[in-house]
Structure 1
Amino acid sequence: MRYDVVTELLHLGEGRVLEFTERGPRSGPVVLFHHGMPGSALPMDSVLDSATERGYRVITYSRPGYGGSTRAPGRTVAGAAEECGHLMDHLGVERYLVAGWSAGGPHALSIAATDPRRVSGVLLIASFAPRDAEGLAFVSGMGVQNHVLFGSASGDEEQQRAIVSQMAALVRDSEPAELAAGMASLLPAADAAELAGAYGPDNAAHMNHALADGADGWLDDLRALTSPWGFDPGDIAAPVELWHGALDRMVPVAHGLWLTRRLPTARTRVENGHGHISIGVGSLGDKLDRLRARTP
Structure 2
Amino acid sequence: MGGMANLTFTLPSGRTIGVTTKGDPIAEKIVVFCHPAPGSSVFDPDPTVTATRNVHMLAFDRPAYGSSDPLPPGHWPSIAQSADDIAEYLREMNRDESEIGVNRPKTVGVVGWSAGGRVALALAARHPDVVDRVAIIATPAPNEEVPWIDPSLQQLSDHLATLTPDAALSQLTEMLASQAEAVAAPDEVGDVPLEMLGESPVDAAALARPGARDRLGMMLRDAFRQGAGGVAADILSYTARPWGFEFSDVAAKTLIVNGQGDPLAGNAHATWYQRALPDARVQMTPGVGHMVVFPAWGDVLAHVAPGTVRR
Q: Shorter-normalised TM-score: what interval?
A: 0.7 to 0.9
Corresponding letter in the other structure for 1:168: A
- Residue of structure 2 in register with 1:40 after alignment: 40
Q: 2:274 aligns with which of 232, 255, 260?
A: 260
Counterpart CA distance in 2 for 1:281 and 1:54 is 16
Q: Give, in angstroms, the shift of residue 225 of structure 1.
A: 1.5
Q: After the TM superposition, which segments of 4 or more aligned residues of structure 1 sit over 4 Å from their partners? A: 146-151, 291-294
Q: 1:74 aligns with which of 70, 73, 76?
A: 76
Whether the 8 Å CA contact 2:108–2:131 is kept in 1: the answer is: yes
- Residue of structure 2 in register with 1:221 after alignment: 234
Counterpart CA distance in 1 for 2:14 and 2:252 is 34
1:44-55 to structure 2, matched below 5 A, reads 44=44, 46-55=45-54
| Number of residue pairs the alignment of both structures matches | 281
**Closer, same or farther in 2 for the Cα pair 1:260/1:177, shift >3 Å?**
same
Corresponding letter in the other structure for 1:264: P
**Closer, same or farther in 2 for the Cα pair 1:70/1:206, shift >3 Å?**
same
Corresponding letter in the other structure for 2:69: T
Corresponding letter in the other structure for 1:260: Q
Greater Cα offset, 231-240 or 279-288: 279-288
Matched, 1:121 2:133: yes
Whether the 8 Å CA contact 1:32–1:60 is kept in 2: the answer is: yes
Q: Give, in angstroms, the shift of residue 21 of structure 1.
A: 1.6
- Residue of structure 1 in register with 2:97 after alignment: none
Corresponding letter in the other structure for 2:40: S
Higher radius of gyration, 1 or 2: 2
Q: Give, in angstroms, the shift of residue 118 of structure 1.
A: 2.1
For the residue of structure 2 that corresponds to 1:179, the secondary structure is coil
Whether the 8 Å CA contact 1:177–1:196 is kept in 2: the answer is: no
Q: 1:171 aligns with which of 166, 183, 204?
A: 183
- Residue of structure 2 in register with 1:11 after alignment: 10
- Residue of structure 2 in register with 1:142 after alignment: none
Corresponding letter in the other structure for 1:154: D
Per-residue CA deviations over 1:36-57 (Å, capped at 9, x if unaligned) read 001111133x434412321121
Q: What is the CA RMSD across the aligned residues, in angstroms? A: 2.5
Corresponding letter in the other structure for 1:86: E
- Residue of structure 2 in register with 1:84 after alignment: 86
Counterpart CA distance in 1 for 2:151 and 2:177 is 16
**Closer, same or farther in 2 for the Cα pair 1:259/1:131, shift >3 Å?**
same
**Closer, same or farther in 2 for the Cα pair 1:190/1:69, shift >3 Å?**
same
Per-residue CA deviations over 1:225-275 (Å, capped at 9, x if unaligned) read 212101111221110011000111233332222111101211001122111
Which runs of no fewer than 5 residues in structure 1 stay unpaired? Answer: 140-145
- Residue of structure 1 in register with 2:299 after alignment: 286
Corresponding letter in the other structure for 1:257: T
Corresponding letter in the other structure for 2:53: R
Greater Cα offset, 50-59 or 147-156: 147-156
Matched, 1:153 2:165: no
Q: Give, in angstroms, the shift of residue 152 of structure 1.
A: 3.7
Whether the 8 Å CA contact 2:42–2:219 is kept in 1: the answer is: yes
Whether the 8 Å CA contact 2:8–2:17 is kept in 1: the answer is: yes
1:128-139 to structure 2, matched below 5 A, reads 128-133=140-145, 136-139=146-149
Whether the 8 Å CA contact 2:135–2:303 is kept in 1: the answer is: no
**Closer, same or farther in 2 for the Cα pair 1:171/1:270, shift >3 Å?**
same
**Closer, same or farther in 2 for the Cα pair 1:5/1:77, shift >3 Å?**
closer
For the residue of structure 1 that corresponds to 2:288, the secondary structure is coil
